[in-house]
């Protein structure tokens, strides 16, 4: 085989591998987008429920393109669970007593995200009756979202919010709402991408004035 022929074969092989890597990346993204949001099943060992199947998220695209095939089209696997009150202890240990106090179970729900049994994220929502003159409607209020620093920008927060939206819709809530302070600028594109409206507002904690915005999404009624 001539030098030119070898170069041509090498180039074609490189292009073929690059196409396979891009295809693997696309399939992984599609898998994450199409992650089923229902399908609850019991999980006896720790007394909580698994929501759906496992989910993959793509990491850095350039690095993933080199390793995608060897990793069976996935970088990480995250499990999402509807948590019971026994998770309060683990949340307290991970994010502190204040975070643990914001968990809801009987008056709402909490969803946990784990990676290899490590607690990496959570969202907790409670039900609220809207004020007059719309007291017949209720909302799901997102009281807390926490993501482990090491696992941020992986789509975990978005997935937790998607799951909360599905749960609130099944409950029959009119809307789902959250508060975010103005210093959390990275949250704004996420809320917008998820279809939330943003309303600037100021809240008070004691004598402290906190500027930020409410993020609100009106839910579709279940068929």
Question: Which tens digit of pLDDT belongs to each residue from 102-119?
Answer: 999 999 999 999 998 899
Does 13 map to a domain? Answer: yes
Residue 173 is assigned to a structural domain of this protein: yes
Q: Are 91 and 99 in contact (CB under 8 A)?
A: yes
pLDDT digits (tens, 9 = 90+) for 83-105: 999 999 999 999 999 999 999 99
Q: Is 14 within the bounds of a domain? A: yes
DSSP assignment of 24-78? HHHHHHHHHHT--S--EEEEGGGTEEEESS-EEE---HHHHHHHTGGGTT-SEEE
Which is nearest to 117 in space by CA: 48, 165, 63?
48
- Residue 6 pLDDT: 52
Residue 205 in domain: yes
- Per the structure, the count of domains in the chain is 1
Instruction: Report which of residues 112 and 41 the model is more confident about.
Output: 112
User: What's the whole-model pTM score?
Assistant: 0.67
The Cβ-side half-sphere exposure at 169, using a 13 Å CA radius, reads 15
Q: Which residue has the tokens 């099943």?
A: 41
Q: Is residue 89 part of a domain?
A: yes
Residue 170, domain extent:
3-218
Strand partners, 215: 178, 198
Domain-embedded: residue 207: yes
Residues 80, 150: Cα–Cα separation, whole Å: 17
Residue 39 neighbours by CB under 8 Å, 6+ apart: 51, 52, 53
Per-residue model confidence as pLDDT tens digits over 174-187:
999 999 888 887 88
Q: Distance between CA atoms of 75 and 60, rounded to whole angstroms?
A: 10
Which helix (H) or strand (E) covers residue 4, if one does? helix 3-33
Find the CATH number of the domain harbouring 109. Answer: 3.40.630.30
In a domain, 223, yes or no: no
Does 196 fall in a domain?
Answer: yes
What is the model's pLDDT at position 221? 72
């Amino acid at each position: 085989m001539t030098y030119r022929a070898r170069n041509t074969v090498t180039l074609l092989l490189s292009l073929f591998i690059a196409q396979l890597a891009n295809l693997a990346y696309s399939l992984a993204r599609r898998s994450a987008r199409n992650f089923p949001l229902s399908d609850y099943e019991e999980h006896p060992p720790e007394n909580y429920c698994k929501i759906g199947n496992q989910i993959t998220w793509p990491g850095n695209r350039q690095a993933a393109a080199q390793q995608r095939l060897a990793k069976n089209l996935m970088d990480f696997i995250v499990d999402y669970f509807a948590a019971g009150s026994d998770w309060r202890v683990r949340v307290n240990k991970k994010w502190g007593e204040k975070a643990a106090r914001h968990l809801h179970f009987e008056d709402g729900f909490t969803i946990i995200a784990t990676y290899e049994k490590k607690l990496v994220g959570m969202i907790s929502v409670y039900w609220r009756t809207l004020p007059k003159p719309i007291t017949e409607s209720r909302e799901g209020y997102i009281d807390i979202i926490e993501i482990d620093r090491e696992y941020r920008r992986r789509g975990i927060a978005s997935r937790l919010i998607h799951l909360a939206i599905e749960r609130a819709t099944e409950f029959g809530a009119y809307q789902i709402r959250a508060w975010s302070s103005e210093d959390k600028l990275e949250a704004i594109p996420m809320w917008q991408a998820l279809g939330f409206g943003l309303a600037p507002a100021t809240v008070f904690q004691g004598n402290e004035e906190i500027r930020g915005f409410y993020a609100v999404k009106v839910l579709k009624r279940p068929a």
